[in-house]
Amino acid sequence: MSADPDLNNRVLVIDDMAELHDVFRKLLGPKPRTDDLLQLESMLFDADEAPASDVAFELDFASQGAEGLARVRSAVAEHRPYSMAFVDMRMPPGWDGLQTIEAIWREYHDIEIVICTAYSEYSDHDIVARLGATDQVLFLRKPFDAIEVRQLARALTEKWTRRRRVQERLTELEHRVGALSRELAAVKAQAFEGNDHRTGDRTPNNKTPR
């Protein structure tokens, strides 16, 4: 299956550990394809049957929650928003994960969130009370599995992309309905005016015939 050319693969990682930034680069960044691999593929597959390469995500990194918010603002201003973010729960001395998500969602609520944590400082009740009952937050326990990270990134970027397409389609339909409503109103107004003119032409003469 070929990669979706319209997939928004922009991913933000907010974590205070530089080592984890490197881990995400290795897991989600572009992977070089060696000459040996390319030669093997050419031997095994026809040109139109060659396997599609894994999705390489466009990654940005922030070490603190406030820095992450600044990156989200810049991305939205550039009309290139992030589809998802991996957010660490503990990032001293700045905001924790929940404070970071709350700040981001106040300005850009479309982003999908994965909270990365070694242990839970908040109960499920606390999280729902703070963030609301939402399907836009998932948890990733540390130490995490490489396959799980890739699957989450792929699933959530695809989810964001599908939701954006639906929103754009609904907006397009609303514009069409609005245009049709205006056209119908204009036709009704013309018909009403025509009726008035015809009624006026048929007004009887009040003079009494001799």
Give me the pLDDT at residue 204, please: 58
Domains and CATH numbers, the chain: 10-162 (3.40.50.2300)
**% helix, strand, coil for the chain, step of 5:** 55, 10, 35
Nearest to 53 by CA among 63, 38, 66, 39: 38
pLDDT of 72 higher than 80: yes
112-117 sheet: strands from edge to edge: 58-62, 10-14, 84-88, 112-117, 137-141
In terms of average pLDDT, the best of 58-62, 119-123, 131-135, 179-183 is 58-62
Q: Whole-model pTM? A: 0.74
Q: Cα torsion for 201, 206, 209, 210, to the nearest 10°?
A: -140
Q: Name the most confidently modeled range: 25-29, 34-38, 60-64, 174-178.
A: 60-64
Q: How far apart are CA 16 and CA 189, in angstroms?
A: 64
pLDDT score for 45 = 46
